[in-house]
Amino acid sequence: MPSTPNILIEIATRHQVHLERLKSGAQGEFDSFLREMQRDIVAQIAEVEDMDSLKGRRLNRLLKAVRNTLKTGFGNYEAVWRQQLADLAEYEGGFEARTLQRVFGVDFTLPSPSQMVTAAFAKPLSVQGIDQGQLLQSFFDGWSDKTFRRVEGSIRLSAAQGESLTQAIRRLRGTRARNYRDGLFHATRRDMAMLVRTSMQHVAVQAKEAVWDRNRDIIKGVEWAAVLDGRTSTICRSLDGQVFPVDEGPRPPAHIACRSVTVPQVRDGLSILGKKGQQTARGADGIKQVAANQDYYQWLKTQPAEFQDSVIGSERGKLLRSGGLSPERFRALQLDKNFRPLTLEAMRELEPAAFEAAGI
């Protein structure tokens, strides 16, 4: 039967640490564009005599100027964002091919950079919520449009409430006392950071999948690998260790700012060059190395009760410790067939004896 070599899980989870650092650097690229847009919009508002005079055509002229400023700024940044993703796709595809060649000593076919980028932009996002199923371009457009609506709404509200120019600008820029974190522009910066991190995770996963798709004589499945720490989401905890066909099933990012990765499952009999794999876990006792084939709930069951409760809640923690369920069965109770988290009541209907045993 096909298997997922532990060494590949180790390489993928360690590589994800480097990708997270790359994301942090990439999201900072937006800051210069935001500062320029903020400076221009503040200057446009400052030219108004007073907010009380913003009625009818005057208000519409200001809003049109602000929209043009945002449209130009986001348009210029979009070119940077797309180049970031293209560079990332080329690197991630090459890294995956080199990794597989090094582990198995077999040549792997590498798609062209343009093919990997096209594949990433053509595959819909698996994120939960209102962004589910969007393509990358519409994902970007939706988040930039949100900024347009927020800024216009802020200006309209300031005009309607008769605020001073200083108050109108403060609403957008924030206050020095709070390091400008209470303004609308800071919310935009935070939103775009999430967009960058999510889109980069999607491209990194899809670039690897493009390599696997070209080597189906060797790659037979895809295993989900979540980060073992207290910040991992319910859906990623529950998908950890599950295997899906190469062209079926969910893929990271499962939610905004998802950190989960996928690892290839190879055909049986393929010889492995190297050691057994490990992965990094951050639990109650700090950072440790654990076996690469240990999934999230197997690892969580080794943690103290206080840590378990902080991650999954006290009632689920009791169920994990005292319900008589294996980690595999506990994992199976977390999501429905559409990979949506189950409520405690839905879980109780499936395993009433476990709830009784745990005293819940």
Together in a domain, 90 and 209? yes
Residues 202 and 327 in one domain: no
- Say whether both 209 and 315 belong to one domain: no
Position 274 scores a pLDDT of 47
pLDDT of residue 118: 93
Do 219 and 310 have their domain in common? Answer: no
pLDDT attached to residue 271: 57
Q: How far apart are the first and last CA of the chain?
A: 40
Give the span between the Cα atoms of 19 and 208, in whole angstroms: 13
The pLDDT of residue 60: 87
pLDDT in the model for residue 56: 78
- Supply 84's token pair: 């970031």
- CA 75 to chain CA centroid, nearest Å: 23
pLDDT at 324: 93
Q: How confident is the model at residue 231 (pLDDT cuts 50, 70, 90)?
A: very high
In this structure, the answer to whether residues 28 and 132 fall within a common structural domain is yes
CB burial string 137-149: b at 16+ within 10 A, e below: eebbeebbeebee
The whole-angstrom separation of Cα 241 and Cα 115 is 29
Contact predicate 354/315, CB 8 Å: no
Structure tokens at 319: 């169920």
Helix (H) or strand (E) holding 319: helix 314-322
Q: Evaluate the omega torsion of the peptide bond into residue 253 and state whether it is cis, within 30 degrees of 0.
A: yes
Query: For residue 237, is it within any domain?
Result: no
The per-residue pLDDT for range 11-48, each reduced to its tens digit, is: 898 899 899 999 999 999 999 999 999 999 999 988 88
Asked if 266 and 246 touch (Cβ cutoff 8 Å), the reply is: no
Domain interval for residue 315: 304-360
Return the pLDDT at 285: 83
Q: Where does a domain end: 179, 205, 225?
A: 225
Count of domains for the chain: 2
Task: Give mean pLDDT, residues 197-219.
Answer: 93
**Cβ atoms of 212 and 219 closer than 8 Å:** yes
pLDDT 10s digits, 129-169:
888 899 999 999 999 999 999 999 999 998 888 888 888 89
**pLDDT for position 211:** 93
Residues 200 and 68 in one domain: yes
Residue 269 lies in a domain: no
Q: How far is the C-alpha of 122 from the C-alpha of 206, rounded, in Å?
A: 10
Q: State whether 211 and 347 are in the same domain.
A: no
pTM of the full structure = 0.85
List the one residue out of 177, 175, 170 whose CA is nearest residue 155.
Answer: 170
Question: End of a domain among 168, 195, 225?
Answer: 225
In a domain, residue 56? The reply is: yes
Length, in residues, of the chain: 360
Average pLDDT over residues 230-241: 94
Structure-token pair, residue 19: 């990708």
Contact 48, 62 (CB under 8 A): yes
